Structure 1
Amino acid sequence: MPAGDDEIWREDAVLAGIDTAGLDLISLDVFDTLLLRRCGPPEAVFPLVAQAARACGALDGAITDYAFTLLRREAEARARRDLIPAAGRADITLDDVYCNLRLPGSDTAALARIERETERRMTVANPYVAGFLRHLRRCGMPVMLLSDMYLSASDIEALLNTAGLPRGAAYDRLYVSCEQGAVKSGGGLFRRMLADRPSADPARMLHIGDNVMADQAGAQAAGVQAVLYAPPPHWTTLTGREGRLGVPQQGPLAPLRGMTARAGAGTHDRFWFDFGSLVMGPVAVHFAEWVLRHTAERGVRRIAPLMREGGLLSELMAAQARRLGLDMDIRPLHVSRGALLLPGLEGFGAAELEAISADSVYRTVGDLAGLLGLGPLPDSLAGQAGVPLIDLLGAHRRDGSGAFAALRDWLLDPARQAAVRARIGHARGLAGDYLRQELGEDGPVALVDIGARGTMFERIARAGGGRHDLHGYLFYATPEALHRMAAGMRIHTYMPLTAETIERARIIYRSPQFLELLLNGEAETTTGYRRAEDGQSVPVTEPAAVPDWQRAALRAGYAGIRRYAGLCESLGVGWGQEADPAAVLGILFRAVHLPTPEEAERLGALVYDLNDATRATQTLCGAGARHRLAALCRTVRPAMRLSVALQTRPSEVPWPQGALTLECPGHLEDMIDGARGDFGHRAICRQIIDMVQAAGAGRLVVCAAGGRGGMGPTFIGAAREAGLGLAGYADLLVPAQGDAFEGVPVLPLAAAAREDCRFAAVVSVGYGSAILKALREGMHGDSRPLHCFWFDGTEFRTTVIADGRDDREESL
């Protein structure tokens, strides 16, 4: 970590709340607390091992990354199942894992070595916890590290050294389960630490870690205080929804966003701060990093991000350029669709009128008259003042309706047409002068816009008279941008141009308003240009017409974006380059396409000014939009609601997915889960969860079969996402799961039947009846009814067991 960043720990909401007064010793968990993997979760290491192993011949070329991940996971499970009970050992080693991975054509010793090397390459210090650790050492606090891990102490010490946390300076001693013969769960590893300090008082010690069973319950079992350093619930919910849409959770985005999720929001509203840091932060920061690298490599020094988001992007790029020592001229360009509408016209006739009319679904007849500087509309057109031009044009093209023809005849009266052409010439002169002042006439210029068609680049080129060497940069692009590329326009896109990303870009572009709002912040709208006293052409701007609460929300969103940028800066160069652009696009796609109910409610309340030579504003999910979506849901069969909603007019339903989330709760989730049509367990789990919630249960025991290969992990993830509490996990086939499975306390099936919690989810299609039999046997003598929710392979059922023999079915 760069010097001077040690105080960053105070921005971590959990660490900042720890009072060390009265403590004699602090212990820390290692992985996912003090150390992070820049590739993401622990299993993200396995594909990297496979790639390196195939490259050096240690793994058969037919074994894909996915296959190796499954095999490596199974080998670890087999080692835990066979070695721990048979040998009476507390934990396994990495060599034990690879002894259980005997693949023909592979070199197991080389695979183990490659995994150690990959861990060293991927592991970095968590800047928050590392800063807190250094603070503790400056205060003279003894610090111990405890880890339930198959890597040896020497392996982990090497990782700590590489992360700048050497023994002695950063901590006093490291305790590792596979060498100490004890694990944290149940308190065993803590007792080993205490045995080395017989005079120490456990009540004056504190342990910090991320696992509720190992770090919190384990420490407390040994009499040690504990602080749970777990990801906040909103982060778990967000990543769960992204996973449902196939957004990758590997790579540096996972640890970067996970760390940012822990940041305190200060005086800002938590929702807006988190949305800024976790959704908009990655979009803005990594796009800005990419533009800066791309332009520097090609010798483009002048970078002109387009307003209104240009203010934020300029700020981010300028900071990155200073950090990298790049001499770049980065200044925002004050342009807008409305400001460049007249300067972009070659003349004014019937063709230009039709182009203006088709350009916006919002621009009305009255807006056009004001834009062209004309007086009041004639009586014959006064009644059309509030009608969108595109509606008049559509009717004219459809059946020759006279309203558009009357407007055309009035506008193209020779005297009036000459006045309009003069106004266009004046506007073009002002805009051209402004562009020359800002962009110069020598050397290439990078124009930067979020998305999506390249229209603004085309308008700038036309308004500038084609004299500038322009290079356009877009975060995301629709097929229209590709058409412009084919016509010779130089456009570079951050997102990869694949069928999947282009389809996602089209869905984002259907409802881009909150993306633009949160990146624009409080920037004013450019409405045109004027001649200043010194002869310079300067932009004319107006403040956005939004309520005060929205300004506070936008400020909180900006604070979140800056928090994400600051964290990236503290970690140093390289992380942004490793971020997968398709995954960054996926983050934004999820926010648009599968919002949480709170996102739909709060983002949907935002007021958006259209910024295209109209005075119109919209509420993204206002009463009118919700009413139209509710009516649509009553008339369209459920399977078609989303597709039909996306075809509604943006002027009437700006954000269909938000309105659907509010009007038909759960519908988008059902559509997405059902559309997968695979052998995954999620649809079954969702239905069982709906049954549990309909019964009024908020907490339950999970009864499954097959460990990680069964339905249990999927159900646990879906239950947490739904806000259900999990009292325990019991497995018919793999009872030896340690003290916790996926963070849930492990119980024998007989004990699960006697838990105080009287609701159980039986999550196995093939073994459901056998699990119920085991629960029934465990309930002999217990008259309390146990409500079991399950799927028998053909129908969903609720079975109530009492006294171990009295079964009945309930209808919910």
Structure 2
Amino acid sequence: MTDTISPHQLPEALDRAPAGVKVLSLDCFDTLLWRDCHAPADVFASLDQLSSGQRIVAERNARKAAATMHRRCEVNLGEIYTQAMPNAGEAERRAAIAAELAQEARACFAFAPTVALMREAKRRGLEIVIVSDTYLSAAELRALIAGAAGDEVAGLIDRVFASSDAGISKSQGLLAKVAKAMKCGADAILHIGDNRKADHDSARALGIAALHLDQFGKAASQRMRFERACQQLARGAGGAGAGAMPQRAVLACEEPQIGDATRSLGLTALGPVFYGFDQWLRAEAAAIEAARGGRVHWLFMLRDGHLPQLVHEAGGAEQSTARVEISRFVAIAASLTNAHAVKDHLALELGLNPATLARQMLFEEDEIESLLGKPETDEERIAASHALHAELRKGQRQKVIARRARGRAERLIAHVRKAVDPLPGDTLMLVDLGYNGTAQDRVDTLLSQAFDCHVAGRYLLLREMTASGFDKKGLIDARHHDGELLEALCGNVAVIEQLATCALGSVTDFDECGEPLRKPASVKGSQSAVRESVQKGVVRFAEAAHEGAIIRAEPTGGATEDWREAALGALMRFMFLPAPDELAVLKSFEHDVNLGSDRMVALFDPDHAREAMRRRGLFYMKGSDRMFLPAELAGESIDTRLSLLVQKRFGLALSRADGTNERIALPAIFLDSGDGIRSQVHAQPTHEGYYAARLAVPRGTSAVALQVGSVFEWLEIAGVTASSIDPSRGDLGDAAVPTALSPRIDGARIHADSLVECTDPAAFVLVNPPAQTDSGAIQLIEFTFRPLRRRTRHTARGPAMTPQPKDAAA
């Protein structure tokens, strides 16, 4: 008999049992009864009389006392609470025990596949026993099963055996007592449990047939540990939490059945997020109708509202749902109906590509080319921006924009009317991922006035940058979490957007009947195929959750809050601690910025990350234009990944100078058209044993030399780069994409490509900075190296080169 069984296979477990089995023996916790939290100790977080830590220590002390005084390791709740509340009266302790049992009943449910197995066992005439290593007595355990799963499930059980009553655990022979009590031989029992040693090995040692329930594989277990850690970090320092994970039963059943990595990503990483979002949306819609009357019309805002709609349909769509294509671009365009709106938008878009801004301001393509031309250089783009801003300040141009915007607004209204046609007093519930609700800001007043209805924005993630005053809420928002956490999540939302969207081009306008007019889809076909497969996994999670992997005596009151916590943990884990197999699915993804341009940005670039980490450490991420930066650290150690997570989550105001107090001083020479200037620079550690020396180069410098031989006998040179940075930004970590330089190395022997043996203490590395074109910029040279052997003795020799202008030019 194969000795391992997956959760979804439990209903057929008896088909794998030896002939003659008369008794089905089941472990209790994590076999029949499961908890909707990460670990058993998470139940203690909600106790009134004790903290979680006090309850854990009390059990530990009770077991020590039992071993010392009675030579046994098994204890009961009474002994635990005697340790926990030594000065309390008996009645007070009994009340505290009752409160813990009630909390357990709220956290527990019966696992549906196990119940299906029990029903099949009864159909075949088998007796069913529960055998548990627990501090609960058999009576308490039976009462817990009835309270959590209901009397029908409890009625299937013939006997309950608890280690606290017997004084020994399954590993110490409890199953032998079970066989004796049931008056049968070991060969007449089939035992199933999730603990390999206690349930499988102990049973097989007695000759009892056993199946080890493999509840979660290694990857799933690690993922949930990471999700729990993210939940704890999300609550902030010292925050307690219940560790709610109502998705556990669904994942245990479904994950082993999916062999495709893309669908698995959808099921495991995004399934709990979007199912939790839909459960919250249903509760919100009911609350709106109860408070305001009328009907709530669900408007899924494409493109990002595509996946939320699929998940909603998987659970049965509400009476009035529709897809509407209201992108940020068309929402802004429809809002520019007067000169004031034009000026406000212009003031906030300083620095936007001039052609993109012109399209947003409703210029025709021939007008854009006539006014701006086709700028290619920085100077040409600056000139184009000046020309555009001058044109936008003209009263006649503002009137043209307002007239065109009013037409856009009328067509947008027609688009919504075609979708749902609300009655006065109804509510239009805009459903989107978030994260600022910009589109709602632009169309809220327009839609509410056009239809005489209320507009409510409901988002997965909401971090409003202004106090808009509109009806906006998020599953994850400022009502529940601090601004630093919301900011951290929003920084990586692009990966969620790309997985939630659909293969439609971005809408640019509507025709007179309200039909969308779209740009051609810019995303690669292969990316769309991967995304659709991921979405099928998400939908499968929703279907399985509705089908039900759990059986409860009665619904729990905190289901929505549990799903909120679960969704946050899963979302934060996927954003900051993605698994290698998840990133393999996303490795070629690009993101479009959806602002009227065709710009596509890579989600992440792991090849670039290794070099950049060596050059700047974690601070290479500052100024990067990719959209899913934590993914670039997936191959790094957990301490590096957690460092980024903690810094982003709490918004820590750190710079690369705060990384360490260790520095390496290097003699430097700056060469100009006259003489050389001697100085000293300090290299700081970055990553993997590498250091970076950063030199702000004075204007007119023709060459820079570092005298590495005076410090090192051996070193590895990883690279030398130059960047032009804006001094107004302050932190040199914000430097632009660097240009690689080819150094000249004298007084040294080169081994392989980058290994340098400094045969002369005066050995130096010399580079020529590129010509500076921006008069206000600072030239930054970055020298990245890894020390291999320090020079232990310095000679009295001077430098091997005498700086000369002609040498510098060379």
Describe the superposition over 1:221-263 as per-residue Cα deviations: whole angstroms up to 9, x where unpaired: 2223322333221222123323444257997874422223313
Q: Give 1:463 deviation, angstroms.
A: 5.1
Q: Read off the aligned partner of 2:592 and give its amino acid letter.
A: D
2-side partners of 1:353 and 1:171: how far apart?
A: 71
1:576 aligns with 2:559: yes
Contact kept? 1:367, 1:614, Cα under 8 Å: no
1:539 aligns with 2:504: no
Structure 2 equivalent of residue 109 of structure 1: 94
Describe the superposition over 1:180-237 as per-residue Cα deviations: whole angstroms up to 9, x where unpaired: 3431124x122222334565453x7532212222112222222233223332212221
1:47 aligns with 2:24: no
Q: Give 1:35 deviation, angstroms.
A: 0.5
Structure 2 equivalent of residue 494 of structure 1: 475
* Aligned counterpart in structure 2 of residue 431 of structure 1, from 408, 412, 422: 412
Contact kept? 2:485, 2:649, Cα under 8 Å: no
1:20 aligns with 2:3: no
1-side partners of 2:350 and 2:117: how far apart?
A: 55
Structure 2 equivalent of residue 332 of structure 1: 323
1:475-494 alignment runs, 5 A limit: 475-480=460-465, 483-485=466-468, 488-494=469-475
1:491-640 alignment runs, 5 A limit: 491-497=472-478, 501-520=482-501, 522=502, 524-531=504-511, 536-540=513-517, 545-548=523-526, 550-564=528-542, 566-567=544-545, 570=548, 571=550, 574=556, 576-579=559-562, 581=564, 584-622=567-605, 626-627=607-608, 629-636=609-616, 638=617
Structure 1 equivalent of residue 118 of structure 2: 133
1-side partners of 2:367 and 2:647: how far apart?
A: 55
Contact kept? 1:251, 1:578, Cα under 8 Å: no
Q: Give 1:402 deviation, angstroms.
A: 1.9
Computing the radius of gyration over CA atoms, which structure comes out larger, 1 or 2?
A: 2
Contact kept? 2:138, 2:160, Cα under 8 Å: yes
Q: 1:368 to 1:384 in 2, by over 3 A?
A: farther
Which blocks of at least 5 consecutive residues in structure 1 are unaligned? 1-9, 54-64, 678-693, 695-812
Q: 1:118 to 1:463 in 2, by over 3 A?
A: closer
SS in 1 for 2:212: strand
2-side partners of 1:427 and 1:317: how far apart?
A: 30
Contact kept? 1:84, 1:92, Cα under 8 Å: no
1:183-194 alignment runs, 5 A limit: 183-186=169-172, 188-194=173-179
Q: Read off the aligned partner of 1:83 and give its amino acid letter.
A: A
Describe the superposition over 1:8-64 as per-residue Cα deviations: whole angstroms up to 9, x where unpaired: xx9944537846245324321101221023455322332333x2x4xxxxxxxxxxx
Structure 2 equivalent of residue 174 of structure 1: 160
* Aligned counterpart in structure 2 of residue 261 of structure 1, from 242, 246, 251: 251
Describe the superposition over 1:110-137 as per-residue Cα deviations: whole angstroms up to 9, x where unpaired: 2223223333343321223223332343
Contact kept? 2:130, 2:161, Cα under 8 Å: yes
Structure 2 equivalent of residue 304 of structure 1: 299
Structure 1 equivalent of residue 653 of structure 2: none
Q: 1:675 to 1:244 in 2, by over 3 A?
A: farther
Moved more, 508-517 or 467-476: 467-476
2-side partners of 1:351 and 1:668: how far apart?
A: 44
Q: Give 1:457 deviation, angstroms.
A: 0.5
Q: Give 1:151 deviation, angstroms.
A: 1.0
1:451 aligns with 2:434: yes
1-side partners of 2:635 and 2:508: how far apart?
A: 38
Q: Give 1:617 deviation, angstroms.
A: 2.9
1-side partners of 2:455 and 2:351: how far apart?
A: 25
Q: Give 1:109 deviation, angstroms.
A: 2.6
1:349-360 alignment runs, 5 A limit: 351=342, 355=346, 358=349
* Identical amino acids, percent of aligned pairs: 20
Q: Give 1:79 deviation, angstroms.
A: 1.9
Q: Read off the aligned partner of 2:409 and give its amino acid letter.
A: R
TM norm structure 1:
0.67
Describe the superposition over 1:456-486 as per-residue Cα deviations: whole angstroms up to 9, x where unpaired: 1012225548434212222322241xx233x
Q: Read off the aligned partner of 1:402 and give its amino acid letter.
A: A
Structure 2 equivalent of residue 648 of structure 1: 623
Contact kept? 1:630, 1:663, Cα under 8 Å: no
Structure 1 equivalent of residue 798 of structure 2: none
1:143-292 alignment runs, 5 A limit: 143-162=128-147, 163-164=149-150, 166=152, 169-186=155-172, 188-196=173-181, 200=185, 202=187, 205-223=189-207, 224-245=209-230, 246-247=232-233, 254-265=244-255, 268-292=258-282
Structure 2 equivalent of residue 460 of structure 1: 443
Contact kept? 1:76, 1:100, Cα under 8 Å: yes
Please, what is the CA RMSD of the aligned residues? 4.1
Contact kept? 1:269, 1:556, Cα under 8 Å: no
Contact kept? 2:575, 2:630, Cα under 8 Å: yes
Q: Read off the aligned partner of 2:65 and give its amino acid letter.
A: D
Moved more, 458-467 or 208-217: 458-467
Q: Read off the aligned partner of 1:173 and give its amino acid letter.
A: R
Contact kept? 2:6, 2:213, Cα under 8 Å: no
1-side partners of 2:189 and 2:301: how far apart?
A: 54
1-side partners of 2:367 and 2:646: how far apart?
A: 55
Describe the superposition over 1:747-798 as per-residue Cα deviations: whole angstroms up to 9, x where unpaired: xxxxxxxxxxxxxxxxxxxxxxxxxxxxxxxxxxxxxxxxxxxxxxxxxxxx
2-side partners of 1:471 and 1:167: how far apart?
A: 43
Contact kept? 1:11, 1:264, Cα under 8 Å: no
SS in 1 for 2:252: coil
1:293 aligns with 2:263: no
Structure 2 equivalent of residue 440 of structure 1: 422
Q: 1:172 to 1:583 in 2, by over 3 A?
A: closer
Structure 2 equivalent of residue 402 of structure 1: 383
1:33 aligns with 2:14: no
Structure 1 equivalent of residue 744 of structure 2: none
1:384-423 alignment runs, 5 A limit: 384=375, 401-408=382-389, 423=404
2-side partners of 1:16 and 1:103: how far apart?
A: 46
Q: Read off the aligned partner of 1:442 and give its amino acid letter.
A: P
TM norm structure 2:
0.67
2-side partners of 1:11 and 1:523: how far apart?
A: 36
SS in 1 for 2:249: helix
Contact kept? 1:605, 1:622, Cα under 8 Å: no
SS in 2 for 1:171: coil
Q: 1:173 to 1:289 in 2, by over 3 A?
A: same
Q: 1:273 to 1:146 in 2, by over 3 A?
A: farther
Q: 1:499 to 1:442 in 2, by over 3 A?
A: closer
SS in 1 for 2:85: coil
Q: Read off the aligned partner of 1:118 and give its amino acid letter.
A: Q
Q: Read off the aligned partner of 1:474 and give its amino acid letter.
A: Y
Contact kept? 2:332, 2:439, Cα under 8 Å: no
Contact kept? 1:248, 1:583, Cα under 8 Å: no
SS in 2 for 1:343: helix
Q: 1:362 to 1:509 in 2, by over 3 A?
A: farther
Describe the superposition over 1:645-664 as per-residue Cα deviations: whole angstroms up to 9, x where unpaired: 1x324xx2212211233578
Q: Read off the aligned partner of 1:210 and give its amino acid letter.
A: D
Describe the superposition over 1:729-754 as per-residue Cα deviations: whole angstroms up to 9, x where unpaired: xxxxxxxxxxxxxxxxxxxxxxxxxx
SS in 1 for 2:323: coil
Describe the superposition over 1:97-118 as per-residue Cα deviations: whole angstroms up to 9, x where unpaired: 1222334356223222322333
